[in-house]
Structure 1
Amino acid sequence: MIAVIQRVNRSYVEVDGKVVGEIGKGLNILLGVVKGDTEEDIEKLIKKIPFLRIFEDENGKMNLSVIDIKGEALVISQFTLAGSVKKGRRPSFDNAEEPEKAKELYQEFVKRLSEYIPVKTGIFAADMKVFIENDGPVTFIIDSKTL
């Protein structure tokens, strides 16, 4: 499972011109489900993401988590994170999990994360427009297989 974590001042997602999910200060999370991912991959990400100390304290040091600042998360499914550009010029998505299984794992990730912070989402497999006001910019890529 691959997650792109962005510290944001605000973020929202539109489907068909309508806002379907919106947050203030917190994390924009783009989540890609890779073939072979399981609940164990979710567990690894959940043990890490809400506790990452990537928000500034009163001294300007990254010392606070999204929990500490009472922030939110906007979680967007993004199968292209499982893509490969190794061969040729057209990305291969052979490593992306099948939609039904990916949706199940995505929803479980959202459920588990919402135990720690408020979570909003887009619509799985929809054509979405994601608006991100990245704060910093601060961005991390986390692969559950390397945790």
Structure 2
Amino acid sequence: MGEIQKLIEKKRKDWQVDFVGLAENVAPTHAPKEIHWLYAAGNQSLAYKNIRLQVGRGIAGLVWKTARPQMDRDILTDVEKRLEYPIARTEKLVNVYAVPVMNKHEVIGVLLTGYRSQLDAFDKLEIGKTAEELASLIQGDE
């Protein structure tokens, strides 16, 4: 198991969230970005691997486009959000918090944490620090 997967699994336990995922661009350098969930912990199935997003689509795509954290609540009770956020629908996530993983001024990934219940006690500071840690791991993989 790779370092990134181990870190994601450890953080899911530490933060006591139901799901942690990392999405990255898998498209070749000059092609339009295609964002996939490459790592997950707490997932209910492997269906997350089939989700394909573009910049601006889905929660990962929004974070990628804006390079800013994004929180959303009560996703499964809102039809539009359920359609817009396939990761929430696939993993039955009610509340999520996602942050960009940055390399200098460029987004290279999106770290998402989520709950399947009404809990939304996200440790934003710790999640941000982990995104920085993941940035150096992702760059080490390239």
Length-normalised TM-score, structure 2: 0.29
Task: Name the one with the larger helix percent.
Answer: 2
Q: Which has the higher strand share?
A: 1
TM-score w.r.t. length of structure 1: 0.28
The higher relative CO (CA closer than 8 Å, separation ≥ 6) is in 1
